A and B are shown apart, each in its own frame.
Chain A
Amino acid sequence: MKHNIIRPYGDKSGDGKVQLSFTLPVPPDDWGKEAAKQLLKQMGFEDIIICGIRDLHEGFTHFIAYAVTPCSVDSSKIKVKKVDTPVMEMEEVDEFIKENIGRKITVVGACIESDAHTVGIDAIMNMKGYNHRYGLERYQWFNAINLGAQVPCEELLRRAREENADAVLVSQVVTQNNIHIHNLTRLIELAETEKLRDKMLFICGGPKISHELAIELGYDAGFGPGTYANEVASYIAVTLAKKLAQKS
């Protein structure tokens, strides 16, 4: 059973060493250091070494620490909800759509509401893509419409209806005060009111988005950081093909 127990690895199997860094509203002295130690103790850490203390001014101190955690994870109990459709390269996706769907897939994407950061939606949709992986605009069998930043939910849904979209892609980069949850929920609720929710796939992405969170919020799928366009394209193509097969 031992190999099923997962513990952090420093320089020996299962030594439980972790690296920590945090800021406290305390002075950079022995008293402050003791506060940091006690905090780590309360978190269950052992063998605590505070190796770095930096004065941040205005009454704050930054601590860098190493400590041992007694916690472990049972590998048999890990369950991850993730997008499980096969991932294809761009050419394969195009080929797949041609054969299994036989028409272009229309995707309308946007960064919604207050969010002005297009880096996510651009990485997935723009011709150029990201890190040498082309975006959906480059795919022959995708009709990709990127509405850009700060698009109101109403506008995105209006456009999706107009274009008879197969999928709606939403990016949320700003997550301060959980604004992303608020925006994503609003979109899904509006889609339901406007009876669009079941007519198309709703997919969200962003640095703090996981598939699990997306499902929880009522989306079909969610993609986190490091996702490339071909992963999203594969998911859309395969899922739509399945839906079509079910219908016929």
Chain B
Amino acid sequence: MLKLELDPDMQNRARKAAASIAGSFQWLFDDYSSVTIERTVLRLLGIDGATEDGTPYPNIVVDHLQQRNALLRGAAIPLANAIIYTGMSAQQIAEEIAQGNLDLTKTPVASPDKIFQVLDELSDKMLKHIAKQRETREQLLQTYGPRRIPAIYVIVATGNIYEDVIQAKAAAYEGADIIAVIRSTAQSLLDYVPYGATTEGFGGTYATQENFRIMRAALDEVSASEKRYIGLTNYASGLCMPEIAAMGAMERLDHMLNDAMYGILFRDINPKRTLLDQYFSRMINAYAGIEIQTGEDNYLTTSDAIEKAYTVTASQLLNEQFALLSGVKPEKMGLGHAFEIDPDLEDSFTYELAHALLTRELFPGYPVKYMPPTKFATGNIFKTYLMDAMFNFAGKLTHQGVQLLGMMTEAIHTPHLADRSLAIENALYIFNAIKSLDENITLVPDSFINRRANKVLKEATEFLERVEKEGLFKAMERGEFADIKRTENGGKGLNGVFRKDVEYFNPFLEKMKKELGL
């Protein structure tokens, strides 16, 4: 077995610093909410659909309350009040508001007891549905057996959900274990979730609840015929993080890209908005048994993969601590990293092994997610195919949880059907060829790999301790993460963050916290 000897003191110091950084945001989690969190509550209370011009009803209701300065208690209380007063369903109320027939601030006020009773019933109904979805997944995994290690993860991105289904099914029949439907490229910056089945997108397909449902049904069909559970992934990121998590929970998605800091650094979304939204979205994921995945690969595509290797480790540790605060269990934390070292560098693969083992051993039992070479994929498909093979070799040898397969046509186009198939063939060949190789080999004492892994861990620890002292926002302001500078009050979406009133109530937050033991 390839086994590192990681300095236990250093591990403790790194985790302690990361925990202290994540823990310093309790004020934000306790005292604030955001427009997308409120829209999530409305979705979970049964509001769906969109007006003819495409504005989703959850947005209509939240905007309606915000314009009347009536959102500070959250969206749940005014909605429940209107349900009691009108006798209509949540959906009907949203439609009446859109028509201009109803003003939530002008309905007579019901007694708190009645309001809480309505919210209790509605939230119970939804939480039961989500729990049922979670049980269905667990049951299917039990019937079909556990997931392959590493699980084979591929992406579809045609822009058309029906075309995506064809490609996803083909990939699943060939051996893919997890399908990710890449989102249309601008979706992370939309402050609403589009509605319905979609057939046009750029660089991907819109994440909508209907699209989730269509793909989940298609993959269930393959799971049943292949006797292998095919997981489905989407992206709970951007300005609608918790809404997408909720949609995924309702439709039984199995994984969600859900990074605590990605939106801040790589999409210029306001830091407070992002941290707040990730807190609630991860809680939904935790409750639904959805495995979260984090985007540390992005640190290496913008910076040098050796010099900045420690930023990956540091971010993994921060993501871990933020996830724990939301009740995500380690076995559901797919912390990310990537195979992005310059292939021209001598011993590049040896470095990669050191980094891959570091992630593996720092997070034992976590379904860590390994990302393929992209930065040095230049359009020479033959070379890229070879690099992908080396990547698959490293992934299998070090038992990564999820292997996001590289495509030989990286940097050329979104994968063609045959590109994806060749990538799966590559992985299946290597996984089979070195199935038990790891049981036969060890690292020599004082190996370069061991020294390198400890060096990265030490750099990450010192970095986290510096950030702890300085504060996360200050560190981001100085460009300490990925050389990108972000300010506390800069970026998109800050105007959607608000301080909660003392009477604020979010039935899902309360119940999920209780259920998750937070």
Nearest Cβ in chain A — how far from B147, in angstroms?
Answer: 20
Determine if A179 is an interface residue (Cβ-Cβ < 8 Å).
yes
Contacts of A117 in B (CB 8 A): 185
B202 x A174 contact (CB < 8 A): yes
Determine if A41 is an interface residue (Cβ-Cβ < 8 Å).
no
Determine if B516 is an interface residue (Cβ-Cβ < 8 Å).
no
**Alpha-carbon distance A118/B265, docked complex (angstroms):** 12
Binary per-residue interface labels of chain B (462-502) against chain A in the complex, 1 for a CB within 8 Å, 0 otherwise: 00000000000000000000011000000000000000000
Binary per-residue interface labels of chain A (216-248) against chain B in the complex, 1 for a CB within 8 Å, 0 otherwise: 000000000110000000000000000000000
- Total A-B Cβ pairs within 8 A: 83
Label chain B's interface by main secondary structure: loop
Task: Give the number of chain B interface residues (Cβ < 8 Å).
Answer: 39
Contacts of A207 in B (CB 8 A): 379, 411-412
Nearest Cβ in chain A — how far from B377, in angstroms?
Answer: 10
Label chain A's interface by main secondary structure: loop
B174 x A179 contact (CB < 8 A): no
Determine if B291 is an interface residue (Cβ-Cβ < 8 Å).
no
Query: Given A56-B174, A57-B174, A148-B268, is A225 in contact with B379 using a C-beta cutoff of 8 Å?
Result: yes
Determine if A166 is an interface residue (Cβ-Cβ < 8 Å).
no
Determine if B1 is an interface residue (Cβ-Cβ < 8 Å).
no
A60 x B202 contact (CB < 8 A): no
**Alpha-carbon distance A56/B176, docked complex (angstroms):** 12
Determine if A71 is an interface residue (Cβ-Cβ < 8 Å).
no
Nearest Cβ in chain B — how far from A228, in angstroms?
Answer: 13
B303 x A60 contact (CB < 8 A): no
Contacts of A116 in B (CB 8 A): 185-186, 188, 203, 267
A131 x B302 contact (CB < 8 A): no
Determine if A128 is an interface residue (Cβ-Cβ < 8 Å).
yes
A-B contact pairs, 24 of them (CB 8 A): A23-B417, A23-B418, A56-B418, A57-B170, A57-B174, A58-B167, A58-B170, A60-B170, A62-B418, A62-B421, A113-B186, A114-B202, A116-B186, A128-B483, A150-B185, A176-B159, A176-B413, A176-B414, A177-B200, A177-B202, A179-B203, A207-B412, A225-B411, A226-B378
* Known pairs A23-B416, A54-B421 / 10 extra A-B pairs, C-beta < 8 Å: A58-B173, A62-B418, A114-B185, A116-B188, A127-B483, A128-B304, A149-B266, A150-B185, A175-B413, A176-B202
Residues of B bordering A, CB below 8 Å: 159, 166-167, 169-170, 173-174, 184-186, 188-189, 200, 202-203, 266-268, 301-304, 342, 374-375, 378-379, 411-414, 416-418, 421-422, 425, 483-484
